[in-house]
Structure 1
């Protein structure tokens, strides 16, 4: 049973007109942005907070760095696959019930990870975590599509980038500081607490956004038809693939930077957390700039093309720094440039992809999430194939993925 105040009810009330649907109460809108932003940042938070601890985890669990990195890959692949289940279910059942179940599973998975006696048990716990995180990630996007359309949707996605950017700012710093006081297991206890808070937020402050009359039948054949329609829509797939490849470029940095910057460049866990957090700040700032520019200076497609061009040039510069052993400050500047583009790319690509599929927002969001995290996970695995993640392998993966994203966006249907 949920307790929904008048501000939240007003936030869910929509006024459809001129291609937009927007919450009418500012306080309700801010509350909605905080909750949905936190849910959409669940995946990033669960990844970023334990990155500084990965070298220590390999030592304490008596295992290798590639196996510890598998805990990251397992989470990302699970996050991708489970979204395909959660999204269509939410189109049939509404958004709240899958969210509540997901938050409960995430809480259990986090506690499992905290108690894991070996890397195998830790991987299993990460898969359980990914099931819960998938619900938050995919359904936050679906709720936004339920409530907004057009430029208003793009701007609200840009607003969510504030919370999405704060997660990588706070998470690695917090993870690094926790390591000065206790072991890596405390990181998962903190994640369990975050899961509990968001579970309560969904229970008491997030109304259902999908009316019963707008729900799709919960039938496997109908779900497959919906996915087939999405997969054969060239406009949808162009923007989804562009977002997925850009995310893969960023994920190469996310998954490899702890080993590159700490092992190869000698940063401490605390210094790495600060560097990682600074890149998250770039996501926040540039995401908000993109929200201010869209509809005023340029449209979504133009902003997406420009930001992918900048990301490709920045990734090429990262690779150059690695190959020619250029100074660390220059490498960090190039990494900041690439990561700062992520907020603009995801906000605009997601809005363009979901804009034409309001009746199947859950399925459309889930297919986007599947491709985004699956491509990201594959990129991270490919980067570690030589057996050791290096600055060169990280830079190579980043530039290949960013350039491919730009190429996908540029190619027109014949």
Structure 2
């Protein structure tokens, strides 16, 4: 098993491909809406189209990666991602921009899934835990800087010119990935649709899989919903420009960085399952701050607390899903990613359209998500306690 450190930066760069495609357009949503003559809901829907197609494509890319290996899947994915980003950069209308976003979503599934499974395939034990924590921190840094880059690049070049910068970045990562990812022997597992449907159905019947997935689903749902709401709140209610919105959105992403950094430190002494419980009350604190927020800064602070929890939960999920499904990492991650993006992106858009009309509504939404999270933790904790007891009895 290769234990050289080159896999960690590769995983970081691959994950950033999907992150930038999803996050860099968020701060400039009002400008996109004005440029393409769209309503707020329509521009949100086009942005959400990326997440929906990303979710759908993961259902295919995950098993394809398990069967054919990383390199061929990476090549196809990067080519599609580059094509979609070029279309976004030259889009003269909403239809062209929508097509570009769809292609970005299809292409980004490849680097996203490879980044999540590459480290587990190359490392093990404490090295793997440490690498996962490092990946989470670097992911948080990308999330922190993406809004700033978005606002600055949009201010310099317009949002279309910003897309051309992405084209250059993706091209460089493609060359880097090709230099490291090698051809591997094909696995024997089938990628026939009937077989895949059977695999996904079996996973969905497993209680531990669902409860571990909730550690990823709930924070992502909070992120998607509030992230769609925030640019228009800052623009319409507080008069922020694109650049100011990008700068303001760095504060919540700073919470993400702090959370992932704390998780990296604490995972050396405590279990990830413990961390999930210990940081759960922060969700309720965030809900209270949303309820009383009347200024942009307080709203951003509440959102930063939510993202801090996200930063802790992401490496927790990455580790626990590997424990629950060690033999089907690609397929399991694909199903988790597909459901969170297909289901929760649509729900996030719907909630923005019909429910999120005040900060009180945001507070209620966060509280409901926190309730789901604590139930999932209780069930997962009971499952791990049962497994520990079975192991102890088997050793006697």
TM-score (norm 1): 0.85
Kindly state the Cα deviation for residue 32 of structure 1 after the two structures are TM-superposed: 1.9
Query: CA 1:75/1:186 → structure 2, altered by over 3 Å: closer, same or farther?
Result: same
For 1:145-184, what per-residue CA distance to the aligned partner results, in whole angstroms no more than 9, with x for missing partners? 2123455433322111222112222221111112222321
Query: CA 1:223/1:151 → structure 2, altered by over 3 Å: closer, same or farther?
Result: farther
Query: CA 1:240/1:294 → structure 2, altered by over 3 Å: closer, same or farther?
Result: same
1:305 corresponds to which residue?
277
How many Å separate the matches in 2 of 1:55 and 1:388?
A: 17
1:316 corresponds to which residue?
287
- Structure 1 counterpart SS, 2:173: helix
1:9 corresponds to which residue?
none
How many Å separate the matches in 1 of 2:352 and 2:66?
A: 37
How many Å separate the matches in 2 of 1:179 and 1:213?
A: 44
Kindly state the Cα deviation for residue 107 of structure 1 after the two structures are TM-superposed: 0.2
- Structure 2 counterpart SS, 1:200: helix
Indicate conservation of the 8 Å contact 2:148/2:243, yes or no: yes
TM-score (norm 2): 0.89
Indicate conservation of the 8 Å contact 1:53/1:176, yes or no: yes
Indicate conservation of the 8 Å contact 2:356/2:362, yes or no: no
Aligned with 2:344 (options 372, 376, 387): 376
Query: Bigger CA drift: 171-180 or 270-279?
Result: 270-279
Tell me, yes or no, if structure 1 residue 328 matches structure 2 residue 296.
yes
Indicate conservation of the 8 Å contact 1:78/1:127, yes or no: yes
Query: CA 1:393/1:80 → structure 2, altered by over 3 Å: closer, same or farther?
Result: farther
For 1:374-401, what per-residue CA distance to the aligned partner results, in whole angstroms no more than 9, with x for missing partners? 3430332122223986544444433333
Tell me, yes or no, if structure 1 residue 356 matches structure 2 residue 324.
yes
Tell me, yes or no, if structure 1 residue 197 matches structure 2 residue 172.
yes
Tell me, yes or no, if structure 1 residue 66 matches structure 2 residue 35.
no
Kindly state the Cα deviation for residue 76 of structure 1 after the two structures are TM-superposed: 0.7
For 1:20-76, what per-residue CA distance to the aligned partner results, in whole angstroms no more than 9, with x for missing partners? xxx2x3xxx1x3222212222333211221222211111111121111111111011
Query: CA 1:395/1:188 → structure 2, altered by over 3 Å: closer, same or farther?
Result: farther
Aligned with 1:147 (options 122, 141, 160): 122
For 1:250-283, what per-residue CA distance to the aligned partner results, in whole angstroms no more than 9, with x for missing partners? 2222222111122212333222212222322332
Query: Bigger CA drift: 61-70 or 163-172?
Result: 163-172
Structure 1 residue ranges without an equivalent (≥5):
1-12, 15-22
Counterparts in 2 of 1:340-351, with a 5 A limit? 340-351=308-319
For 1:115-140, what per-residue CA distance to the aligned partner results, in whole angstroms no more than 9, with x for missing partners? 12221221121011001111111221
2:227 corresponds to which residue?
254
**What RMSD in Å do the two structures reach over aligned CA positions?**
2.3
Kindly state the Cα deviation for residue 207 of structure 1 after the two structures are TM-superposed: 4.0
- Structure 1 counterpart SS, 2:328: helix
Tell me, yes or no, if structure 1 residue 97 matches structure 2 residue 100.
no
Indicate conservation of the 8 Å contact 1:383/1:397, yes or no: no
Query: CA 1:390/1:136 → structure 2, altered by over 3 Å: closer, same or farther?
Result: farther
How many Å separate the matches in 1 of 2:241 and 2:203?
A: 45
Indicate conservation of the 8 Å contact 1:319/1:399, yes or no: no
Tell me, yes or no, if structure 1 residue 286 matches structure 2 residue 259.
yes
- Structure 1 counterpart SS, 2:158: coil
How many Å separate the matches in 2 of 1:345 and 1:289?
A: 11
1:165 corresponds to which residue?
140
Indicate conservation of the 8 Å contact 1:249/1:402, yes or no: no
Query: CA 1:150/1:308 → structure 2, altered by over 3 Å: closer, same or farther?
Result: farther
Indicate conservation of the 8 Å contact 1:155/1:292, yes or no: no
Tell me, yes or no, if structure 1 residue 33 matches structure 2 residue 1.
no
Query: CA 1:204/1:317 → structure 2, altered by over 3 Å: closer, same or farther?
Result: same
Kindly state the Cα deviation for residue 218 of structure 1 after the two structures are TM-superposed: 3.4
2:111 corresponds to which residue?
136
Query: CA 1:220/1:214 → structure 2, altered by over 3 Å: closer, same or farther?
Result: same
How many Å separate the matches in 2 of 1:85 and 1:314?
A: 39
Kindly state the Cα deviation for residue 318 of structure 1 after the two structures are TM-superposed: 3.9
Indicate conservation of the 8 Å contact 1:70/1:123, yes or no: no
Query: CA 1:131/1:330 → structure 2, altered by over 3 Å: closer, same or farther?
Result: same
1:223 corresponds to which residue?
196
